[in-house]
Structure 1
Amino acid sequence: MFIHSFLLFGLILLLSSCKTDTETQTIPRVVAEKQTYDFQQHVKPIIEHKCISCHACYDAPCQLKMQSAEGVDRGASKIKVYDGGRLENESPTRLFVDAQTTEEWRNKGFISVLEKSISADKTQNNSLLRNMIELGQKNPLPANKQIPDSIELGLKRKNFCPTTGEFSEYADDNPHGGMPLAVTGLSKKETNILTTWLDEGAKVTPLSIKISESEKALIQQWETWLNSDDKRTKLVARYVYEHLYLGHLYLQTDDTETDTTNQTTQFYTLERSYTPSGEAVIPVKTVRPFDDPEKPFYYRLTPITETIVHKTHIIYPFDQQRLQQYQDLFLQAEWTVNKLPGYSYQEKSNPFITYQAIPAKLRYQFLLNDAEYFVRNFIRGPVCRGQIATNVIRDQFWVMFENPKYEIYTNNDEYQNSVNSYLGLPGEKTSLSDLGTEWFKYSEKRNKYLNTREKQYRKTYPEGATTQHIWNGDKTNENAFLSIFRHHDSASVTTGWLGEIPLTTWMMDYPLFERTYYELVASFDVFGNVSHQAQTRLYFDLIRNGAEVNFLRLLPPESREKTYESWYQSAAKIKTEITYHELDDKSPTAIRYKTKDTYSEVLQSLLDQYPRLTQKQDTINRCDTACRDALSKKSTTDKINLSLSQIAAKPAKKLAAIEWLPEVSFVRVELPDQQVQSYSLLRNRRHSSVSFMLGEELRYQEELDTLTILPKLIGSYPNLMFNLKSTEIDAFVAQLEKVGSEKAFNQLIEKWGVRRMSPDFWNVLHGFTENMLTEQPLESGIYDINRYGRW
């Protein structure tokens, strides 16, 4: 395993060297007194329509993050945020956190995209933004044609990030490298607005936020409670902050509770500030939420001024009801705090020790109440970007949780105290020399923990696991059963068990759930080096294995080995012997089975027992003969679903088109009543195992790939879009069934696909956001096209 760990940085390409800039000097912007166009009213809508789909979040090319006026003013950087091969940690460059002024960003190496420059030969250069716009206008690609292979696309493309002095050389080398890149460009009107604004000095005005009086009052309530002097509240506030700092919180008050769209909903972040309520926020600039602030701080709610993008939009209600819920959950119980924890290495790396004073049962219930939110943090957060980051999980699997009434860790203090020291997490020590030793140390601790856990479960439940040990959401909470879909280098989570019965299923207890959150969210440093990233990835491999094996306790002992072997084939069999804990094939199960396919039987029994929470009525992916007969007699939407069910959940050997379908396709269907129904076509790649960081293509079982089709949008990064009328759905399905070659698939694209250079590209893309505003208003945000194919 030591050798396996070092393969990561031994095989990854190191950061490419950058071109040397010719000597240039920036010319300060001269802002015209009279502005033809206002940034917020005229310029920002164009940026939102044509730029933000690429230039948002950490994976914005050249760190040019255009979601806000501050991001546009900050400019670009040659330093990559996501870099799997760097040997040293990178200094963080979080907008609004690590620098507050333009000058501070310039000192951190960011270059202006708005300012002109003058070269040593006295040649004046336009601003980078103006140059990029003009290059895009000068060399447009032909409409409705596939993007040439000579133009590099995707997350792995090299970002040149030229300065104004380097732009001429960049343009010569990349004649089609203007903006927006390899997609339908700006209209004449949009170009005129942007160039006029740039010529008049590119005046950038930050968004002015107006907070209602009722929201101000609720913010004051929250900040007063979170900053209480009471030791118990202080500890709970720290725990809450470490779990909510990545979220987009919304405050429902008397003024906002009837609002049903996020177009007018103001979202907030919870952060640590060196200033108290009523004063301007001075952020605590630690890398992680549990790092030592070194001096007194306050929890503050700060309004989000950036345009909302779907890929980072993780919402969480933070209203009066939530405040009361926290007080009832955490403070009504009898528990005391003798001494507040500090920020030592042990406390940072082991939340089970840090928060030991808060009864574990309360912490577990806190996570369960909003399980989808917490899972979404590590599925949609910074950690889940790139193939190596996501290939630890299957392309489709279901998740459930242990019932807090029976979960042993939260109900047995003696057992809890005996295993806490085993539950620390790696990733804090990041030098390359620590990688091997840290991996061995935490792998060994994890296996010791599982030894103890197995004995305790056998002692506590000698007759074995039962379906009563599965949390049913108290029959009302939709967070009880979740589906996760991996899309090669990203992932999604949603409530309910969607799609066909998957190859694997997880059952998470409190230690698994909490460790996953801390390892992949709170402890993860997106600017960390290869050692930190490898430790994170390797430990999550153990967590996934633990959740899968925990589910196997439900099956009869004689069924476990066969099921386990189907999950860990080929070389993974060796890893199950060397790295993973030995499979328990002796403890009984209390469940009485009627068939030999015990895996499917127990899942089907849960679908039958909790049809609403599991969303049993999946009329596309699990539609039997009776289901099809019923759908044929119903509405237009039902008939569309019936047609799509003919191609859903089929293996690639029966539906050849899957070979050419990308991971995520969005389908827009125009209904007769002028309404629109959106669908997601998700390609589920099958692997012999997901146990290794590298060589994923060696483990593909492409003939077993399947297609999940959902009547809603899943994923933040569409790879392909289709646009068709409801009357065409049968023809669309029939042609998809006939696809047996790349040529045939291209014919499908010609008829219904939306190419990057289609004049309708942007309207269709943003139409999906508008549809989300109707279907799931608070969840909506602009979709990312960095992964869109070269269709």
Structure 2
Amino acid sequence: MARVSGISKVKLSVLILLVAGLFIACSQIPEYPVEEPIAARVQSYDYQRDIRPIFEHKCMACHGCYDAPCQLKLTSAEGLERGASILPVYDGARLEDMQPTRLGIDASSTAEWREKGFFSVLHGAEDGELSGLDASVLYKMIELGHSQPVTPNSRLPATISLGTARTNSCPSIDRFADYADDFPHGGMPYGTTGLSDDEFNQLTQWISEGAVVSPALYTPGAAEQAMTEKWEQFLNQSGKREQLVARYLFEHLFAAHLYFPDIEGTHFYELVRSSTPPGQPVRPLRTVRPNDDPEGAFFYRLQPLRQAIVEKTHIVYALGDTRMQRFESLFFQPDWDVVNLPGYSYKERANPFVTFDPIPAKARYQFLLDDAEYFVRNFIRGPVCRGQIATDVIRDQFWTVFEDPEQEAYVNDAKYRAKASPLLGLPGQKSDLLALGPEWLEYNEKRNDYLKLRGQYYAERKPEGATADELWDGDNWNQDALLTIFRHYDSASVRRGLHGRVPRTIWVMDYPLLERTYYELVANFNVFGSVSHQGQTRLYFDLIRNGAEHNMLRFVPAKQRESLYAHWYQGNAKIKHALTYTGLDTATPVAMDYTGADSNDAVMQRFSQLLMDRTAAVSGPPDTLNRCPHNNCQRPSISSAQQQLESTLQPLARANGASLPVISLLPEVTFLRVTQGDQRWVYTLVHNRAHSSVAFMFGEESRLLPKEDTLTLIEGTLGSYPNFSFNVPLEELPSFVDSLSAIQEQPGLHSLADRWGVRRTHPEFWDIMADFKRSTEERAPEQAGILDVNRYENL
């Protein structure tokens, strides 16, 4: 075995200390009997017509994804029948990978789910007769909630635990009495305004008659059916080139909700590997990752989504004739060949640059750039982005831009590509605890070797320095060239365009960075993975962020790079830099005009202006809400009432935590609904927390800089997890802003919520949440989904 260097030993010791506090004992999976439900002959209510809308209105906002309490997923009939489990999917301390529990994949019958530890929440049977309400956990839960109503628009008592960090009890029917005694306010809908009398009575009657559940129908029209068949034929061609491209496309689209934009009323689909060919029922392979060994023949299939859409997992991607033509021109018009198709070994899964090397690199990069927002949204709405430790690797607001594909080094220089590819592998495939340190050290060293290679190559290629034309301008039509990413403590969002004030950092991503980010956080991420796997993923993403910042520094004056970098990595981050990162290039100049830009802020302002000049054709109108220094900017395309509204809000975006202390007290994501008669406008107040650095997994509180916090105003909703909302008549908006601006301490927010807040207990809470969803449907109907209220605060 090779000797570990002294600095590597230090790194390994630090790493082990970071994760040592995460270990806990493993839980045993209980076994549950398979119930034999008995249904009444006459059913008063139809599940899809009468019952599902109640769940969609008041239940799916919490029970819609991997983080649904007790894994009770109510977005489909299959999830309701599967029931609940005491085992959480998100567990940052398990020592081994857990068995996956993906609905529709990892079990095909109720009996199989019971063997995996799921228990029924619907019904039971005794001696062949209906056991009615006494055997239904669902009934007991809604009855407990209905019997303990909350005071309208009041703050919840401290005994009601909120947030994703709370421990869920997940009682089966035999333990429910103890649960109700321990948690008298633990009924459903949890911690919110409850069911109406009519809703409660309908659910009660439906459950008493056997809780008959029927799956959603799939009835595609002729055009839609023909399009699905056309795409399955395209993806299952027999040629080697076609097989390799199909694999590449699958590994990048497996998490998408696919649709056909030219067909009215199209369903959403997901792309799966199935053991059955087109024309037969889909049977998805049960591999954990999309690039795991299929261990046999398979076919790419489009499977319709028969579930309600929740925004936090809704990552849309358009197919159709135009897309197929684009794929043909990107991947098959260039002249290239495949001698031997790659397999699914550790090396091939860990390094997509080697696996897909025969496909022209420029085609792969352009494929990612065509829909850059989609790929970034995969990082954000995929299962990796959940929890503070998962997201504190990024800053709260920053812009992301891309290198121009005509000049990007990796896709244009075969010799350089051959040197770089072996250094671009990714950790995380080995998930045992002992692999955590060695895997991270190995890939960290390779990454730093790559950065040195890259820096030397660019310096030699352009000794006079970087130029603005190296930044992708979207080919003067593609608005995905400019993205703004917001972190909301334990979640994140992305939106096209440059939103908010000029950020502290701007990412410049090339093909290796964009592809590695996707594979590390999406394709190779296992939400059921061990602490070792999760630790490797989080640590390597730290390197990706650092690499994107290195890329940006090429575009600023050499003399300013160390100062900017030190501003990003303050305090103990200097130690992290010495142990983990690679050095800066402070010698190669920049071939861009920075005359008079002598401070860090001036350099960032100048770079942002050069960026906007370069991308003027796709940047859209200026962000007058957030970048209007004299509060005199108006958008001519909006009504006078909305101009008045925005003029009232603009001062909030010019302040910081020092000048406006309430900013540091606000939740991460606050929705604002402003009304005037039948009109309403929706905005989001995004709290951006400033940090001295984001280089560490733990101790975030010690790195906060509240006086430098800012607020970004966004038209429409931003974020799948609103933390609070206000409902304000337009004529009262000046008073609202004045009252908000005067707040100095947390009790002031409670007083503000008394007057304008939409608390979890507000009589119209669910209707207003639904209206926020409608506002997205009006702007971009294909993007709309049910919002998650697990993180909604008790202001």
Once residues 212 and 631 of structure 1 are traced to their aligned partners in structure 2, the CA distance between those partners, rounded to angstroms, is 42
Q: Which residue number corresponds to residue 459 of structure 1? A: 460
What is the Cα-based RMSD across aligned positions, in Å?
Answer: 1.9
Taking a change above 3 Å as real, the CA distance of residues 774 and 633 of structure 1, as seen in their structure-2 partners, is: closer
Q: Is the 8 A contact 1:69 1:205 kept in 2?
A: yes
Moved more, 28-37 or 366-375: 28-37
Q: Return the TM-score normalized by structure 2.
A: 0.95
Once residues 637 and 787 of structure 2 are traced to their aligned partners in structure 1, the CA distance between those partners, rounded to angstroms, is 34
Choose which of 209, 218, 224 in structure 2 pairs with 1:209: 218
SS in 1 for 2:653: coil
Q: Which residue number corresponds to residue 142 of structure 1? A: 151
Once residues 87 and 249 of structure 2 are traced to their aligned partners in structure 1, the CA distance between those partners, rounded to angstroms, is 33
Q: Which residue number corresponds to residue 260 of structure 2? A: 251
Q: Does 1:354 align with 2:355?
A: yes
Q: Is the 8 A contact 1:62 1:80 kept in 2?
A: yes
Taking a change above 3 Å as real, the CA distance of residues 403 and 179 of structure 1, as seen in their structure-2 partners, is: same
Q: How much does 1:751 deviate?
A: 1.0
Q: Which residue number corresponds to residue 724 of structure 2? A: 720
SS in 1 for 2:618: helix
SS in 1 for 2:429: coil
Q: Which residue number corresponds to residue 515 of structure 1? A: 516
Q: How much does 1:595 deviate?
A: 2.2
Once residues 515 and 746 of structure 1 are traced to their aligned partners in structure 2, the CA distance between those partners, rounded to angstroms, is 44
Q: Which residue number corresponds to residue 389 of structure 1? A: 390
Q: Does 1:628 align with 2:633?
A: yes
Q: Which residue number corresponds to residue 59 of structure 2? A: 51
Taking a change above 3 Å as real, the CA distance of residues 159 and 626 of structure 1, as seen in their structure-2 partners, is: closer
Instruction: State the Cα deviation string for residues 372-405 of structure 1 (Å, max 9, x = none).
Output: 0001001111000000000000000000000011
Opposite residue 234 of structure 2, the aligned amino acid is W
Choose which of 176, 185, 189 in structure 1 pairs with 2:194: 185
Opposite residue 413 of structure 1, the aligned amino acid is A
Q: How much does 1:199 deviate?
A: 0.3
Q: How much does 1:26 deviate?
A: 6.8
Q: How much does 1:745 deviate?
A: 1.8
Q: How much does 1:3 deviate?
A: 2.4
Once residues 311 and 243 of structure 1 are traced to their aligned partners in structure 2, the CA distance between those partners, rounded to angstroms, is 18
Choose which of 75, 79, 89 in structure 1 pairs with 2:87: 79
Q: Which residue number corresponds to residue 691 of structure 2? A: 687
Taking a change above 3 Å as real, the CA distance of residues 643 and 609 of structure 1, as seen in their structure-2 partners, is: farther
Instruction: State the Cα deviation string for residues 403-454 of structure 1 (Å, max 9, x = none).
Output: 0111000000011011111100000011111111111100111111111111
Structure 1 stretches of 4+ moved >4 Å: 15-21, 24-27, 629-634
Once residues 337 and 27 of structure 2 are traced to their aligned partners in structure 1, the CA distance between those partners, rounded to angstroms, is 56
Instruction: State the Cα deviation string for residues 710-759 of structure 1 (Å, max 9, x = none).
Output: 11211000000111112221111111111112232222111111011110
Q: How many residues align?
A: 778
Q: Does 1:772 align with 2:773?
A: no
Q: Is the 8 A contact 2:97 2:528 kept in 1?
A: yes
Choose which of 760, 763, 767 in structure 1 pairs with 2:764: 760
Instruction: State the Cα deviation string for residues 467-509 of structure 1 (Å, max 9, x = none).
Output: 0000000111000010000000000001000001001100000
Taking a change above 3 Å as real, the CA distance of residues 629 and 663 of structure 1, as seen in their structure-2 partners, is: closer
Q: Is the 8 A contact 1:135 1:175 kept in 2?
A: yes
Q: Which residue number corresponds to residue 372 of structure 1? A: 373
Q: Is the 8 A contact 2:468 2:614 kept in 1?
A: no
Q: Does 1:741 align with 2:742?
A: no
SS in 1 for 2:694: coil
Opposite residue 744 of structure 1, the aligned amino acid is G
Opposite residue 663 of structure 2, the aligned amino acid is I
SS in 1 for 2:143: helix
**Structure 1: segments with no counterpart, 5+ residues:** 257-263
Q: Is the 8 A contact 1:607 1:616 kept in 2?
A: no
Q: Which residue number corresponds to residue 70 of structure 1? A: 78
Q: Is the 8 A contact 2:26 2:94 kept in 1?
A: no
Q: Which residue number corresponds to residue 219 of structure 1? A: 228
Q: Which residue number corresponds to residue 100 of structure 1? A: 108
Opposite residue 49 of structure 1, the aligned amino acid is H
Q: How much does 1:609 deviate?
A: 4.2
Taking a change above 3 Å as real, the CA distance of residues 629 and 387 of structure 1, as seen in their structure-2 partners, is: closer
Q: Which residue number corresponds to residue 290 of structure 1? A: 291
Once residues 627 and 248 of structure 1 are traced to their aligned partners in structure 2, the CA distance between those partners, rounded to angstroms, is 41
Q: How much does 1:123 deviate?
A: 13
Q: Which residue number corresponds to residue 448 of structure 1? A: 449
Q: Which residue number corresponds to residue 340 of structure 1? A: 341
Q: Is the 8 A contact 2:123 2:133 kept in 1?
A: no
**Structure 2: segments with no counterpart, 5+ residues:** 1-10
Q: How much does 1:19 deviate?
A: 11
Q: Which residue number corresponds to residue 21 of structure 2? A: 11
Taking a change above 3 Å as real, the CA distance of residues 612 and 782 of structure 1, as seen in their structure-2 partners, is: farther
Once residues 633 and 229 of structure 1 are traced to their aligned partners in structure 2, the CA distance between those partners, rounded to angstroms, is 54
Choose which of 221, 229, 242 in structure 1 pairs with 2:238: 229
Taking a change above 3 Å as real, the CA distance of residues 655 and 300 of structure 1, as seen in their structure-2 partners, is: same
Once residues 128 and 544 of structure 1 are traced to their aligned partners in structure 2, the CA distance between those partners, rounded to angstroms, is 45
Question: Percent same amino acid among aligned pairs?
Answer: 49
Once residues 416 and 244 of structure 2 are traced to their aligned partners in structure 1, the CA distance between those partners, rounded to angstroms, is 23
SS in 2 for 1:759: coil
Q: Which residue number corresponds to residue 411 of structure 2? A: 410
Aligned pairs (5 A) from 1:410-429: 410-429=411-430
Taking a change above 3 Å as real, the CA distance of residues 124 and 620 of structure 1, as seen in their structure-2 partners, is: closer
SS in 2 for 1:433: helix
Q: Which residue number corresponds to residue 176 of structure 1? A: 185
Q: Return the TM-score normalized by structure 1.
A: 0.96
Q: Which residue number corresponds to residue 473 of structure 1? A: 474
Taking a change above 3 Å as real, the CA distance of residues 630 and 398 of structure 1, as seen in their structure-2 partners, is: closer
SS in 2 for 1:494: strand
Q: How much does 1:602 deviate?
A: 1.2
Instruction: State the Cα deviation string for residues 188-225 of structure 1 (Å, max 9, x = none).
Output: 00001101000000000001110111111111111111
Q: How much does 1:626 deviate?
A: 7.4
Q: Which residue number corresponds to residue 157 of structure 1? A: 166
